[in-house]
Amino acid sequence: MHGAVSGEKREGEALLESEELVFRGDFRLKIPFRSMRSVKAAGGKLRIEFPDGKAVFELGPHAEKWAEKILHPKSLLDKLGVKPGATVSVIGVDDEDFLKQLAERTKEVMKGKPRKDSDWIFLAAETKGEFAQIRPLAKSLKKTGGLWIVYPKGQKHIHGKRCAGRGQEGRPSGRQSSKFFRDSHRTQVCHPRFEPLRTTLILAREGPLRRTRPPS
């Protein structure tokens, strides 16, 4: 265990996840969005107040962007890039909440089979064998389209570290690293990963912190 002295600086990486801000250095700190009492950005610094104290992340031009994302998080469909009126094909996905959100976003939804020139295809996969559908389904995408894989929570052996799509910047691709976030209590969706930023953390807190291996 390692104690942090109020006001000391630590070097490490900051990663903005979909529901929390993570710092990785000689210790790890996770601050869920819901626990943040104050979020402010000025002069290239992101200042956060949370139940255990205050943290200042030196992020340069990213500080204000991160503050905006924390204070005004995007909806699931916004994160997935589904715009109003988009043509969407849904294969095997039966999550009622997700389907309801989708129906509210666009009328152009085809269920059970792919529609030609789809902007997005959502494929449910409960086994690795169902990944074989990716290549033929991709033929139904627009050149700027993408394919998301929806899988049961807790079944990471299904996806490994793969995302599928046409490889456009900001869209999923088998060549990208990937992360996964929740779209309901029981399913997850493959999503492109945002790389961590090098940062200096000023932590106004005292107490034990879990020590981790410093990033290489």
pLDDT, one tens digit per residue, over 101-128 is 999 999 999 999 999 999 999 988 877 7
- What is the Cα–Cα distance from 158 to 130, expressed in whole angstroms? 9
Return the pLDDT at 153. 61
Residue 192 tokens read as: 């492109």
Letter for the amino acid at 196?
A: P
Which residue segments constitute the domains of the chain, with CATH numbers given? 2-74+195-209 (2.30.29), 76-192 (3.40.50.150)
How far is CA 141 from each of CA 103, 146, 148, rounded to the nearest angstrom? Answer: 19, 7, 12
pLDDT, one tens digit per residue, over 84-98 is 999 999 999 888 888
Looking at residues 30-56, what average pLDDT do you find?
93
Letter for the amino acid at 147?
A: L
Spatial CA neighbour of 32 closest among 41, 21, 23: 21
Q: Are 19 and 33 in contact (CB under 8 A)?
A: yes
